[in-house]
A and B are shown apart, each in its own frame.
Chain A
Amino acid sequence: MPLLEVRDLTVVFERKGEQPFTAVDHVSFDVEPGQTVGLVGESGCGKSVTSLAIMGLLPKRGARISGSVQYEGVNLLSLSDREMRDRRGRDLGMVFQDPLSSLNPVIPIGLQVTEVLERHRDMPRKKAMVEAAELLDKVGIPDPNRRLTEYPHQLSGGMRQRALIAIALACRPRLLIADEPTTALDVTIQAQILALLKELVRDMGTALVMITHDLGVVAGLCDEVNVLYAGRVVEKAQRHELFAAPRHPYTHGLLSSIPRLDAPRGERLNPIRGSVSDNIPWTEGCAFAPRCPNKLDVCVRVTPEQEDIGGGRLLRCHNPVKPPVAEEVSV
């Protein structure tokens, strides 16, 4: 049984006097225990809203959520506020994008780590402090005892993100959601944090939902990848298959817009044309159609359905990219 089973998760933002906006549209995916699943897409495609909906952190008013989020067989969306609060931090952990603003600036790091231990594991403050030092040590923060007494602004960006990871994993949740955890960090620190996450989830057997716009992150970390576009999953595949043979033109575009070391000299990067603002609504065809190099007439008339194309892959496209011949043979 999957640890997390997201089925037809839909989030509609409603505002008085405005058109309702569907941020997440029938998104479904599973996370097996210990598995790392990537949610990939550019800004505004619904990645963060998906994660907030799973955590029950969307505002009560203005956001209409439907579908189901089964965690160990319990639908999180039907839990009361109090029940959900007990699970957050204990069963589900979350790491946010900006490590500085995600820490309370007026409280020393130590108290922020012990807070969650005191809350969920009923530890007395002193014992929690010892545990907190061990946690900081585990996430690779040198001299943890000194760091415990320091304030967030005294830590470097990478150190802060390590502290946040320590806090999120303090109660050993079975599922960790990381929402662009490396976006605010520079490249070398990014690599360190990703390596740390990889090591921790392996050692602790934690399942990880990795939300990112960076395919490099996916390549290094995820077992399975869901590519989101305008609130819908357009392609889902195992990591290797996705990189070897992207089928959706959007995924293909994302991959070909990454600079490659082995590209011939002088070759230009191949970006995706246009921007998210060119989208057409899913109800009138494929939202990506206006930007799509493979566009057919049917794309702006009929909404593509999600199809199983074998090997656990799902695809939502009328005219997918042909897989490379060599790959076809090997599959």
Chain B
Amino acid sequence: MVTPTRKKDRIDKLAGTSSDAGVSLAASAWRTLRRSPVFLTGAVIIGLFVLVSLLSPWLAPHDPSDPMLIDQVIKARNQIPPVQDGHPLGGDLQGRDFLSRLLIGSQQTLIVGVLATLIGLAGGLTLGTLAGAFGGWVDSVVMRLVDVMLSLPSLLLAFSISAMFARPNQYTVIIAVAVVQIPVFARLLRGSMLAQRHSDHVLAATALGVKPGAIVFRHMLPNSLGPVIVQSTLVLATAIIDAAALSFLGLGNPDDRIPEWGQMLGDVQNVFDTHPQLAFWPAGCIIVVALGFTLMGETLREALDPKSRR
């Protein structure tokens, strides 16, 4: 039986000196991921991308909004400034340094992608938790709402939402892209919440008299988050592409002093056949970053999937 001294030891240990902590699902997933080349590729891409966008004000050789090469544009009758000393990627249609615009543009992409995903995640979590926790008519109402949103192609929905705003800016883009992601998250979470509702450990918790609030937030929600976390890395990729598409179509920020990859792509539509490099760089950046998030998301999904764990 328990002696007083052992009890004292226990309290000491509980105070935080216990060395052998358990290995959580996250920790074991990380062990798998660390050795996956696909995940590492994605992580390196995303790491570089985040680093570049954070450091871009210092990395960019020139002011991205300064039409410093405008003489060349005017002189050569709408000629686009070619690659030259100090401008490794040349200039754009308005004589601004292309490399600087590309580097600074990563900031917008990062902000839009992350914020849109977070807002979409918050909305989706709220709706999905409501539907999954209450069931019944709440579930029906929420899910019909989600179905309506899902019935429209996501990009079309994002266009419509952007178009609703009288004066588009970078925040309307974020909102439009975020709203489009809500139904995906909501549906995903609701599905796994419902599965949790009938799981043995929720029944066991109920049999212990645990209150409904604690059942939902301690037992159902944490066990349902896996697919949602994976989805959010994948959604980061979609959000970046969607935001670029909106800007490309002129539904983004009209102020082109703040560069954005999708917008840069849209600007060069008319000169694409003569100057493909102007489209190549922003498009390439979008693709590589989206690929990076997708690679991370897919490997994360595998690592967190209990069925594929050893």
A residues adjacent to B (C-beta < 8 A): 55, 57, 85-90, 93-94, 96, 98, 101-108, 115-116, 119-120, 126, 129-130, 133-134, 137, 145-146, 149-151, 154, 164, 167-168
For the complex, give the distance between the alpha carbons of A119 and B2 in Å. 24
Stretch at the interface among B113-121, B176-184, B215-223: B215-223
Report chain B residues within 8 Å CB of A101: 199-201
Q: Judge whether A104 and B205 touch: CB under 8 Å.
A: yes
Q: A151-B22, A151-B23 are in contact. Are A137 and B2 (CB under 8 A)?
A: yes
Q: Which listed residue (B9, B22, B204) contacts A149, Cβ 8 A?
A: B22
Which of B62-70, B100-108, B125-133, B206-214 lines the interface with chain A?
A: B206-214
**Chain B residues near A104 (CB, 8 Å)?**
201, 205, 218-219, 222-223
A116/B210 contact (C-beta < 8 A), A130-B14, A149-B22 known: yes
Q: Which residues of A contact B11 (CB under 8 A)?
A: 126, 130
| A and B contact pairs by CB, cutoff 8 A, 18 listed | A57-B207, A88-B206, A96-B207, A98-B200, A102-B200, A106-B222, A108-B22, A115-B205, A115-B218, A116-B210, A119-B214, A130-B11, A146-B20, A149-B20, A149-B22, A150-B22, A151-B22, A151-B25
Query: Is B10 an interface residue, CB under 8 A from the partner?
Result: yes
Q: How many residues of B contact A (CB 8 A)?
A: 33
Query: Closest Cβ of chain B: how far from A124's Cβ, in Å?
Result: 12
Q: Nearest-CB distance from B93 to chain A (Å)?
A: 54
Chain A residues positioned under 8 Å from B1 (CB to CB): 137
In the bound complex, do residue B204 and residue A106 qualify as a contact, i.e. CB atoms below 8 Å apart? no
Q: B22 to A85, Cβ gap below 8 A? A: no
Q: In angstroms, how far is the closest chain B Cβ from the Cβ of A242?
A: 29
Question: Which residues of chain B from 7 to 32 have a CB within 8 Å of any chain A CB?
Answer: 7, 9-11, 13-14, 18, 20-25
Q: How far is the CA of A104 from the CA of B196 in the complex (A)?
A: 10
Cα distance A217–B164 when bound, in Å? Answer: 70
Besides A87-B209, A130-B10, 7 new A-B residue pairs in contact (Cβ under 8 A), listed by A number: A93-B207, A96-B207, A104-B205, A104-B218, A106-B24, A106-B222, A130-B11
Complex interface bits, B249-263 against A, C-beta within 8 A gives 1, otherwise 0: 000000000000000
**B195 CB–A CB distance under 8 Å:** no
Interface residues of B (CB under 8 A from A): 1-2, 7, 9-11, 13-14, 18, 20-25, 199-201, 203-211, 214, 218-219, 222-223, 306
CB distance from B181 to the nearest CB of A (A): 25
A134 contacts which chain B residues (CB < 8 A)? 2, 7
Cβ contacts under 8 Å, B201 to chain A: 101-105
- Chain B residue contacts of A120, Cβ below 8 A: 209
Contacting pair B24 A126 (CB below 8 A): no
**Which of A103, A107, A130 touches B218 (beta carbons < 8 Å)?**
A107
Question: Closest CB-CB distance, A69 to chain B, in whole Å?
Answer: 15
Instruction: Across the interface, name the chain B residue whose C-beta is closest to A150.
Output: B22
For B306, the chain A residues whose CB sits under 8 A away are 105
Neighbouring B residues of A90 by C-beta, 8 Å: 209
Docked Cα-Cα span, A312 to B203, in Å, equals 35
Cβ A103 vs Cβ B204 within 8 A: yes
B235 to chain A minimum Cβ distance, whole angstroms, is 22
CA distance A103 to B306 in the complex (A): 15
Q: How far is the CB of B163 from chain A (nearest CB, A)?
A: 42
* CB atoms of B10 and A149 under 8 A apart: no
Select the residue from B22, B24, B219 with max chain A CB neighbours within 10 A.
B22
B25 touching A94, Cβ below 8 Å: no
Q: How far is the CA of A254 from the CA of B140 in the complex (A)?
A: 48
